[in-house]
Amino acid sequence: MRGLLKWMRPGLYIKRWLLLMLVALTIFSLAFAQLLLIIYRNEGRPDWFTSATLGFLTPGLRGLILIAIGILFFAIALRGLNRSLFGPVFSSHSLSQWADIVQSRQQLRQGLRVVALGGGTGLPSALRAMKTETSNITAVVTMSDDGGSSGRLRRDLGVQPPGDLRNNLTALARDEALMTQLFNYRFEMGELAGHSFGNLFLAALVGIKGSMDEAVLAAGRVLDIQGRVLPCTLTHVTLVAKTRHRETGELEQIKGESLIPRREAVIERVSLEPQWARAMPEVMRALLAADLIIIGPGSLYTSILPNLLVNGVTEAIRASNALKVYVCNIATQPGETEHYSVADHVVALEEHIGERLFDVVIANNHFPIENAGPNTIYVRPAASNHPINQRYYLAYADLTDDERPWRHSPEKLRAVLLSLPPASQRIAQSEGEGKVASLG
């Protein structure tokens, strides 16, 4: 009984449908009663009909008996229908537990509309941070990867790179632990050596569905993801970088994301080929309708900028009324952002897509030694007199994962995102006033 009562709680969207069913049954019953009344008034009704409908009893007693029989039959039918249709689904949960699950999902459907842009291993941190708060999540993923398994499938099958899409699909899966283990499984022998199961799965779906966006949509249904994952563009794009040699100062143009990070060269600028590549319409609609847009975390030049350089993306972000947040990396990346501070990351973005695309910069201010290893070099906060302090609201906090401190903790990142003050208390851009806040 307690389990049944849980289904009557507000927010489950159950009572309204039960009420509609009751109204429908009432209308049906009234119509049936009208037919019976017509038959009773007909003197030529057969004797068997009188016996079947208890016509030999007084009207009051006859009504009570028929109501009792109807309730009994309804209960038996409902019990049998429940076992036949819902038994396999309810087998591992009690009725009360399922009420809690349904209520949780309904609450998530009413949560913030969140769009997160990036790729690689950084964007999943933002998705994990927000998926406990809302299921209205759209992950917009870069399509410029050309290395490893993704690069091989791109060259051999002509499909768009599936690797970053795979990482974000598993991050939004309801049974994330199992799905991540399955989709990240890499074959070690034979012609499939080096390929992950998830990449092959998406490549196969492209062959079935005809395009990567349809393949990702189908994969989302299979994984029962909480939100959706979209490729930023359906155009086959190549990332191009203009680099300068650290010692000789020689300029060089490098094509291909996997070839760009090099210790001996400094990245000066990146671009996409073809330059006319446009964002998917679904990406544009999601950005314009968002309540919160999260840019990053992720590799500055090879994950974040390849999204922002797609035609239409920055225009949609600027036009959106959402709160726009840039999440800076915790650690620098060799060959890409060596010696970069938080300010250097922001300035690099500004040089490519202009100032004030976002309202808030979230950055780490905790630099643990334990578990960091010798190769972890932390991104340091911006200098107190740096101009970005006047252009953005900077929110500093401990964002490090305890086991892998060079990566973001989803729980810590969620706490910062949810603690951001309303627009009236954030940076007043029109007045040029900056604000730096330490949140931990």
Query: Contact 352/319 with Cβ under 8 angstroms?
Result: no
Strand 251-255 vs strand 238-245: parallel, antiparallel, or unpaired? antiparallel
What pLDDT does residue 422 have?
65
Do the Cβ atoms of 272 and 237 come closer than 8 Å?
A: yes
Measured CA to CA, the distance from residue 389 to residue 394 in angstroms comes to 7
> Checking DSSP bridges between strand 137-141 and strand 251-255, what pairing results, if any?
unpaired
Dihedral sign for Cα 394, 395, 396, 401, please.
negative
What CATH code is assigned to 111-143+232-239+270-438?
3.40.50.10680
**Is the pLDDT score of 413 beyond 60?**
yes
Cα angle value 35/41/44 (rounded, 5°): 105
pLDDT at 148: 84
pLDDT digits 0-9 by tens, 217-244: 999 988 888 889 999 999 999 999 999 9
Two tokens at 210?
């005809």
Q: What is the mean pLDDT of residues 93-120?
A: 66
Check residues 436 and 152 and name the one with the higher pLDDT: 152
Q: At residue 281, does pLDDT exceed 60?
A: yes
Tokens representing 181 are: 């283990």
Mean pLDDT of the chain: 83
Residue type at position 384 = S
298: three-class secondary structure by DSSP: coil
What per-residue confidence (pLDDT) applies to 431? Answer: 45
Q: Classify the phi-psi angles of 41: left when phi > 0, otherwise alpha if psi is within -120 to 50, otherwise beta.
A: alpha
Q: Which of 331, 439, 320 is nearest to 375 (CA)?
A: 331
Q: Is 269 helix (H, G, I), strand (E, B) or coil?
A: strand
CA distance 301 to 142: 11
Least confident of 257-271, 311-325, 336-350: 257-271
**Whats the size of the chain, residue-wise?**
440
Which residue spans of the chain are classified as CATH 3.40.50.10680? 111-143+232-239+270-438
Matching residue, tokens 């349904």: 102
Of residues 8 and 203, more confidence is placed in 203
pLDDT confidence bin for 427, thresholds 50/70/90? very low
Q: Model pTM?
A: 0.77
| Residue 136 token pair | 């209205």
Q: Which of 146, 148, 147, 138 is nearest to 118 (CA)?
A: 138
SS3 at position 251: strand
The CA distance from 162 to 159, in Å, is 8
Q: Provide the angle, in degrees to the nearest 10, between the axes of the packed helices 212-223 and 197-209.
A: 120
420: which DSSP letter? Answer: P
pLDDT in tens, 11-34: 545 566 667 777 777 777 776 676
